[in-house]
Structure 1
Amino acid sequence: MKLLKIICLVSVITTTISCGTYFNQPVDFTEARIGETSPVTKRLNTLPLPQEPVVVGVYNFRDLTGQYKPSDVGSTFSTAVTQGATSILIKALEDSKWFTPIERENIGNLLNERNIIRSTRQEYQGSNESQPQVPPLLYAGILLEGGIVSYDTNIITGGMGARYFGVGGSTQYREDRITVYLRAISTSNGKILKNVYISKTILSQALDASLYKYVNFQRLLEVEVGFTRNEPVQLAVKEAIEKAVEGLIIEGVKDNLWNTKEGDDVKAKMIADYEAEKEEAEMTKLYDRKFVERKSGSSFGVGIGGTLMSGDYSDEEVGAALNIDFTTNFSRSLFLNMNLGAFELKNQNAFSRKLAGFDLNAGYLVLPNDNLSPYIYGGPGIILGLDNIPEDQENIHLKVQYGLGLEYLLNNNLGLKIFAQHNLSFDDEVDYIINGKRNDQYFNFGLGVNFYLGGSGNKGTK
């Protein structure tokens, strides 16, 4: 019965984590289907309509990486990314409805076919002047150039796993990255009108769970379950190219290279949304970390939480705590904090005491350029009893404290924080009893908000 429970637990955990993949395992051949769309494809299809589509020519949108697909078993001549990026770009231009793409990748084939048409007409219709001529080709006012400029593999890898008495599981992941550049060139003077840069990560994941158990003498039970999921490189390239087309359209609208026919309000909203996305991108560095510029300044904070006594009595209970604090920054990472709080220390049916405390801490912000940053601090403090105490007991106690926390900036003026702190008293009389060699201690923990004076300087770093 115990073994059955273990098997069920392993199976449930694995299938719950990966149910979308696990319950859609291929068991038969599938028919051809229309190609997948991405969120960017849907945005391209819903862009405001242009005043007039722009005729563009794309000669070649190449793979400029020169990389081959990595292999663990030897060399391979398969390229790492698709060689058909030109077709992807032309489809994205068509989906946007802002451009009229014309054939230029295989212009030789087109010209050759037109010559065949002319020679056939001359051969079978003679030199009749009234016969229709081959219509002239469209010419492009703008050429689109660029390509896939990089394919970086294993920019981040990792995983985790555990095994105990033959029962275990593990997960692994790997992230690659492609980069695309797309530029628009005027055919009248050769001027580069716009240049757009887009990057896209490619995720690979693996998850497995296993059970190895002797159920009887010389009878070993083995159970394994798992899956591997790799994001298709072609779809990543497609999404990056579509994003580049979207950016090129809005950049052109912003600089009046072309315009929408749906009015100034729609144009202003489209540009505002794009500028907000660009600002977000400037703050987001590699590995999707949000970078901010925390200017030296000050903040007020309010926090609530609990305390837990570690003294001479057993059966500790959590007491309530409230604190306010003021923080001033000396630099991007170093700060000074003054904290005033009220809290309760108690043990079940043995001890209860209400106190106030004042702490003076020096601290260090570990990631000063991130929206989410841990911090550490420490310093001296004092606690003062707020209730009546026996005449032979001290009402004031000196202490030192140290702690750590985590702060997340919601915006320029507001941050959320969680914290935990260890307090070490210099005497053993906080709980009214002296016992043993160790002085009284207590822990406090909680969450709160910081209000920045003048803003925290939440801007993208250069």
Structure 2
Amino acid sequence: MIAQQIRFRLLVLVIVLTGCYSFAQEEIEISDEPNTKFFNLRGTNAFDVALGTSVINGDLVDPQFEIYFHVGYKRQLTPHLSLDFGYHKFNLAYIDIYNEGFMSFDLNLEALLFPHERFSPFIFAGGGYNASNHFKETASKIQGGAGIEYIVSNQVGLKLYADYNYVSSDTLDGLEVGASDDTYFRIAFGANFYFGGAVKKSKILKDYSTEIEANSITDDRNRPKL
């Protein structure tokens, strides 16, 4: 009688431990499943456009805010990091004194702080090439900035950002005065149009499914037969 009770208790214990083990395995598998939310909200590539204002910080007084336009292409290296190439067209002016059109070609490394969320701040920095209209005056430059993005619909994000541009020339405003080179700021509101996320998500889930199936087959082969 005592032996039967011991066997019954051992059987219950085995069943409980087996259930706990299976539950733990399921939890591990769920937690190990790749996070693909980024590819639902955004994507591996993006075209972006923006419209805003630019203002110079040079050798004259009374700088004036002028029109600024941007169009670019962004390639995601990881959900957090992307490489962004952009064409920027803008004017720099002083009230009643100076107004000149410029363009710049910028290459930035951009960091998205919360890539799996609809709302995320971002920062960027890089280098570029600055030129006046018809390339009368050209100079290299470095730039950096920050902004915020909100995904209003899957693959479409609205953004607000500002950047600071340091040009390796003191003649941006037509004068060479002072000890430092000229700089300017740009502020803009725009949109990112993402694409390529569905393809990347499908590949990740396919690779994950193949890995799970391979592990399952290996486990079945290694499991001792009773």
The question of whether the paired residues in 2 share the 8 Å contact of 1:373 and 1:407 is answered with: yes
In 2, distance between residues paired with 1:422 and 1:331? 25
- Mapped to 2, the partners of 1:320 and 1:313 lie a distance apart of 19
> Which residue in the other structure is 1:250 paired with?
none
Residue 411 to residue 425, structure 1, CA distance change in 2 (3 Å): same
Task: Give the whole-Å Cα distance in 2 for the aligned partners of 1:444 and 1:437.
Answer: 23
How many Å separate the matches in 2 of 1:365 and 1:323?
19
How much has 1:453 moved relative to structure 2?
A: 1.3
Seen in structure 2, the aligned counterparts of structure 1 residues 323 and 388 have a Cα distance that, compared at 3 Å, is closer
Structure with bigger helix share is 2
Choose which of 47, 59, 62 in structure 2 pairs with 1:312. Answer: 59
Q: CA deviation at 1:432?
A: 1.1
Matched, 1:400 2:142: yes
Partner of 2:32: none
1:328 is displaced (CA, Å) by 0.6
Aligned residues: 163
Name the CA shift for 1:388/1:371 in 2 (closer, same or farther; >3 Å). Answer: closer
SS at match of 2:37: coil
- TM-score by length of structure 2 reads 0.68
For the pair 1:450 / 2:192, whether they are aligned, the reply is: yes
The residue type paired with residue 420 of structure 1 is A
1:339 matches 2:86: yes
Give the residue type in structure 1 aligned to 2:55.
Answer: L
The whole-number CA distance in structure 1 between the counterparts of 2:84 and 2:164 is 16
Query: Who is 1:322 aligned against?
Result: 69
1:11-45, Cα deviation, whole Å (9 max, x unpaired): xxxxxxxxxxxxxxxxxxxxxxxxxxxxxxxxxxx
Aligned to 1:21: none
**What SS does the aligned partner of 1:349 have?**
coil
**Alpha-carbon distance in structure 2 between the residues aligned to 1:427 and 1:340:** 20
Instruction: Find the aligned partners of 1:360 and 1:454 in 2 and give their Cα distance.
Output: 21
SS for the counterpart of 1:428 is coil
Unaligned runs of 5+ in 2: 1-34, 202-226
- Cα 1:388–1:334, aligned 2, differ >3 Å: closer, same or farther? closer
Q: Which residue number in structure 1 is paired with residue 37 of structure 2?
A: 293
Contact 1:363/1:378 (CA < 8 Å) preserved in 2? yes
- Match of residue 417 from structure 1: 159
Aligned equivalent of 1:382, options 126, 129, 135: 129
Letter in 2 for 1:446: A
Task: Report Cα offsets for 1:327-384 as digits up to 9, x if no partner.
Answer: 0111110110001011000001221110111000001111112100000000001111
SS in structure 2 of the partner of residue 361 of structure 1: strand
Counterparts of 2:47 and 2:135, CA distance in 1 = 31
Q: Which has the larger radius of gyration?
A: 1
- Aligned AA for 2:83? L
Return the structure number with greater strand share: 2
Shift of 1:454: 3.5
SS at match of 1:437: coil
> What is the letter of the counterpart of residue 356 of structure 1?
M
Q: Which SS does the other structure have where 1:294 is aligned?
A: helix
**CA–CA distance in 2 between the matches of 1:292 and 1:407?**
19
Task: Give the TM-score normalised by the residue count of structure 1.
Answer: 0.34
Q: CA RMSD in A?
A: 2.0
Displacement after TM superposition at 1:308 (Å):
0.6
Kindly provide the amino acid, as one letter, of the partner of residue 67 in structure 2.
A
- Counting aligned pairs with the same residue, the percent is 28
SS at match of 2:184: strand
Q: Tell me how far 1:387 sits from its aligned partner.
A: 5.3
